[in-house]
Homo-oligomer: A and B are copies of this chain.
Amino acid sequence: MSRPAFASWLSQTNDVTQTFLNAGQIPDLINLAGGLPDPSIWPVEELAQLAHKAVAEHPEAVLAYPPIEGFAELRHLIAQRFSTGGLTLTRQNVLITTAGMQGLDLVGKALLDQGGLIAAQSPAYLGALDAWRPRLPSYRPIRLQDEGFDPVAALDGAQFCYCVPNFSNPTGRLVDLPMRQAMVEAAQQTGTWLVEDDPYGMLYYDGAPLPRLLELSATGKPGPYDGPVIYLGTLSKGLAPGLRLGWVIAAPEMITALITAKQGSDMCTTGISQQMAIDAFKTGLPERILPHILDLYGSRRNALCAAMAEHLTPWFDWQVPQGGMFVWARAKDPALDTDKLLKVALSHGVCVTPSSVFDPEGQDRGAIRVNFTLNPAERLAEGTRRLARAVDALLSGKA
């Protein structure tokens, strides 16, 4: 007897996310690879009390099966938080998800037949590629920063366009206002859905936040939002990832399709996290902890960039990101293969993410993503020195 073959997409995947989630277990490794928050930002005792209160005061809601689409009050609160002068959201526009990753999975489930076409900001978030891989999609890479970039040509004919306007993972890049407007206009013109993945939208260290694509696509018509943007939000960066609490904001017809997709994925999101989110929003908890997060991560961004300027300038180019969690550094020497660099770096006690995992084709081996949120300044500096030694060893053939 032989066992049936696994589904074919499984032969196309990689285990890099798990490698990085587990990397913390290597002794004294400096992990600059993941996208992990600093545990000091978590309001532990307040969250513990919210967890108790959720179960003790709302047992018949929290311990039962919540509605597939999420608690009505939470959907309403999120609709309120994201409504603006021109943008009217109701809870019909909101689906609660088991964090941002499930939002990506559900969008793929609702819109992709096998081989369906995705226009994706390139390089693209690894987790989005993971979420859509089981549907064996085809990709049209789009590079918003390239001269002559044509948003209409980029979107036309795709099932959806994937975009991270605020501090993209992996590049940390902020999409400017004219390009945001152009993308929204292209979505309105072509009909293509525009997925705005926004886990980092609260993490602006410099400058005022730009308007979301969601807001830019509002028409000012009365009634619930009916535009082309599918907005994905999460509490993972601004409160705590362990809550596994996210949301999708979109036109009601899209929310209806996503509810059907969620029904067969995990039926509903845990009531405890949903009720904790309700109480957190009502007491302004995310707003209260945000100044500390911005101080901490902003200073770490500065520390990493200073260390990189001191130790990595000979080998890499990068821009200082205005927010988010990552610096994206491209090797000056095309012969510097960052897949190989990762292996050498691990043996030098530091971990970064190679660019190949952010390329649907796995071809780009010329850049690295460096995280600055998890480690204090001195560890960022030491990690950068280790990385410099690893580059030196690799290029000199001593690795």
Contacts and interface: CB of A to CB of B under 8 A. Distances in A.
Interface stretch (A169-177, A269-277, A278-286, A357-365): A269-277
A4 B193 contact: yes
How many copies of this chain sit in the oligomeric assembly?
A: 2
A22 interface: yes
A191 interface: yes
Interface residues of A, number: 89
A320 interface: no
B191 A242 contact: no
A266 B3 contact: no
A60 interface: yes
Contacts of A192: 3-4
A138 to B, nearest CB: 14
Interface in A125-155: 127, 130-134
Contacts of A6: 110-111, 257
Interface string A31-56: 00000110100101101110111111
Interface of A: 1-4, 6-8, 10, 13, 15, 17-18, 21-22, 36-37, 39, 42, 44-45, 47-49, 51-56, 59-68, 98-99, 101-102, 104-105, 109-114, 116, 127, 130-134, 158-160, 188-193, 228, 236, 240-244, 257, 259-261, 263-273
Given A101-B264, A244-B270, 17 more contacts: A8-B113, A17-B263, A21-B65, A22-B67, A39-B63, A42-B59, A47-B59, A48-B54, A51-B272, A63-B242, A65-B236, A65-B242, A101-B267, A102-B266, A105-B266, A127-B267, A265-B265
30 contacts: A1-B190, A1-B191, A3-B192, A4-B160, A6-B110, A7-B112, A7-B116, A17-B68, A17-B267, A21-B67, A21-B68, A22-B67, A36-B64, A39-B59, A47-B59, A51-B52, A51-B272, A52-B52, A63-B240, A63-B243, A65-B236, A65-B241, A98-B266, A109-B134, A127-B264, A132-B264, A134-B261, A243-B270, A244-B269, A270-B273
